[in-house]
Structures are given as C-alpha cells and as structure tokens.
C-alpha cells in the first residue's frame, strides 16, 4: 500500500514539476523562493548560490515578458484573419440558405451539406480563436493555428466550388440523363473529403 501511494505521489509531483518548469514566470517565483530559503543559512557558497539564483530568476522573468510581447504581436496579425474567416463562413451559410429552401430535393440536400460544413468550420475557428486568446497558449503555436485556418479556407473554397459545379450540372440536366453520381453519393463524398479532423 505504501509503495503504491509513494508511486502515485511521485507521479503527481513530477506532473506538477513539469507544469511549473514549462512556465517562465513559475520558474522565476520558484527560484526566488529557493534563493530566499537558502539565504537564511549565511555561508559564502549560499550567497553565491542566491546570486546565481537571482540572475536565473531575472532571466526567466525577462524570457516570460518576451514571450508575452511576441504573442501579442502575432495575435495582432492573426486576429483579423480569424474574424474575417468566421464572417465569411456566416455569409456563405446565409447565401446557401436560399438553396436549402429550393423545391428541388437534390439542391436542398447538397446545399444543406455545404451549410453544415460552413457551420462546422466556423465553430472550429471560434474555438481556435478562444484558445489563441488564452494566456497559457504559447506564441509559437499561433503559427500552427494560422496554417490550420488557411487550410480550412482552402477546403471550404473547394467545397463551394464542387457544390456550384454539381448544382449547375444537376439543373442543366433537363434531358434526364443520369449524372455521374446521385445527390446522396455527392453528399457522402463531400463529407468524407471535408469533415474537419480537429
């Protein structure tokens, strides 16, 4: 029983240590506390250790401040792209709402699929933006978010292009010749191609 609780305690302490050590401001406070505690003993080695600890603490504090400044600068560049993308998704959703009220079943089905994907991408982007605004998000992760946003923009552009082509082919098919794929097959194919995997 004791070894099990010690093992659990060590795992817990290790996880806390990793979290503390991954944040520069936490390092600053931890090293400051250690330096203060060690300074109570009074030897030359201890004074030297306190001096080194304080230098390291200042370095970590400066590093933390630099990360905050870098993140703010990146966020200032990326924020308008997030906002533009969510606005674009809402505009597209409204545009395809008219097709969703069409009297043609195939057009309603296909446009509803496009609307659902627009909503999905909008929700994913809003979630990413919320994560980007959190203080705990490192500044270097913002580039990955920007790239993902660009990828989603390309995907939704492709989906709407495929929809326009399919709609045109379906409506131009007045002779009743069977198309290459049914609306249900088109929807299935689009869902496989464009379902977000975030």
Question: Alpha-carbon distance 44 to 143, whole Å?
Answer: 47
Give the per-residue pLDDT at 67: 80
**C-alpha span between 67 and 82 (Å, rounded):** 21
pTM of this structure: 0.63
Give every residue of the chain whose pLDDT is below 70, as ranges: 1-22, 30, 33-47, 174-178, 196-198
d(CA 117, CA 190): 9
State the pLDDT at residue 21: 65
**Where are the chain's structural domains?**
6-194
- The CA distances from residue 157 to 11, 147, 151, 162, in Å, are 47, 15, 10, 9
Q: What is the pLDDT of residues 14-69, one digit of tens each?
A: 666 666 666 777 777 767 766 666 666 666 666 677 777 777 777 787 787 888 88
Q: What is residue 17's predicted lDDT score, i.e. its pLDDT?
A: 65
Q: What is the pLDDT of residue 53?
A: 78
Token pair 């924020």: residue: 79
Interatomic CA distance for residues 118 and 91, integer angstroms: 9
Q: What is the pLDDT of residue 64?
A: 78
pLDDT at 133: 82
Predicted pLDDT of residue 158: 92
């Amino acid at each position: 029983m004791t070894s099990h609780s010690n093992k659990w305690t060590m795992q817990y302490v290790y996880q806390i240590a990793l979290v503390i050590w991954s944040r520069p401001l936490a390092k600053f406070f931890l090293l400051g506390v250690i330096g203060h505690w060690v300074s109570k003993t009074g030897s030359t080695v201890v004074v030297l250790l306190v001096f080194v600890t304080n230098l390291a603490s200042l370095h970590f504090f400066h590093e933390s401040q630099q990360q905050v400044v870098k993140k703010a600068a990146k966020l200032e560049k990326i924020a308008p792209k997030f906002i533009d993308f969510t606005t674009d998704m809402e505009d597209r959703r409204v545009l395809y709402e008219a097709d969703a009220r069409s009297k043609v079943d195939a057009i309603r089905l296909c446009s509803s699929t496009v609307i659902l994907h627009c909503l999905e991408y909008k929700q994913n982007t809003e979630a990413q933006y919320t994560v980007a605004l959190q203080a705990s998000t490192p500044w270097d992760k913002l580039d990955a978010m920007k790239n993902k946003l660009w990828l989603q923009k390309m995907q939704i552009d492709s989906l709407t292009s495929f929809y326009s082509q399919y709609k045109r082919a379906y409506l131009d098919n007045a002779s009743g010749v069977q198309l290459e794929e049914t609306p249900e097959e088109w929807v299935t194919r689009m869902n496989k191609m464009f379902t977000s995997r975030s």
